Amino acid sequence: MAKDVKKKATKAKAPPGEASAGPEAKKPQMKKKAVPALPMPREIPAAAAPRKATLKAEARHLEPLAVAAPADIAVLQRLWDTVEARRLSGDTTLSHSARLIARGTPKVAQKLGEEAVECVIEATLGNRRETVLESADLLYHLIVVWVDAGIRPEEVWSELVRREGISGIAEKAARPKGILRAAETTKLP
């Protein structure tokens, strides 16, 4: 007795150029026009097309941050005034600034260092928005250090004005050598 051979039902394919009437019909795809590349000199090797990750990173870096209000340097003076007022009030139950200053200079300096590291990490990762946010935290904690040390913003601005037009190399060379001896290192620039 012969084995029963099952025949597979095959769908009839539509001839080329005709769309099939079945549910598996595909939509015709539009072909993109090829734009000819500009001729390059033979001496210059052809550059590879940028990868998707590169394009995303560039877009992230170049994307402007929306500024809600007009920004100016006076905001730093207002922030210093606020932190100084909180220090003078000494109310550690209501003010983060007062609480931080009450914990002492080592804690204030530690917080500044933490914020600096966070800012560096975000900048290194290329996170533009987070770098802006961490920069604001860093400036706040720098101002807390100034208030804790009794430094007024005008003192820092005066030092910046004094340094204008001076080469960074010349300015560093003019620093007292005692700093290097006190740090017991020659690694400082």
The per-residue DSSP string of 24-66 comes to: TPPPPPPPPPPPPPPP--TTSPPPPPPPHHHHHHHHHHHPPPP
Average pLDDT over residues 151-180: 82
Residue 104 domain-assigned (yes or no): yes
Q: Check whether 90 has a pLDDT greater than 70.
A: yes
**Would 139 be classed as within a structural domain?**
yes
Residue 61 is assigned to a structural domain of this protein = no
User: Per residue in 72-84, pLDDT tens?
Assistant: 788 999 999 999 9
Residue at 23 is within a domain: no
- Is 14 a member of any domain? no
Structural domain for 83, as ranges: 74-183
Q: What percent of the chain has pLDDT over 90?
A: 44
In a domain, 152, yes or no: yes
138: Cβ contacts below 8 Å, ≥ 6 apart: 112, 115, 116, 118, 119
Residue 144 lies in a domain: yes
Amino acid letter, 38: L
The whole-number average pLDDT for the span 80-100 is: 94
In this predicted model, what pLDDT tens digit does every residue of 4-48 receive, in sequence order?
555 554 555 555 555 555 555 666 666 666 666 666 677 776 667
The CATH number that applies at residue 134 is 1.10.287.1080
Residue 136: its pLDDT value, please? 95
Residue 56: band (very low, low, confident or very high) from pLDDT cuts 50, 70, 90: confident
The number of folded domains in the chain is 1
pLDDT at 109 > cutoff 60: yes
At 133-159, the pLDDT tens digits run: 999 999 999 999 999 999 999 999 999
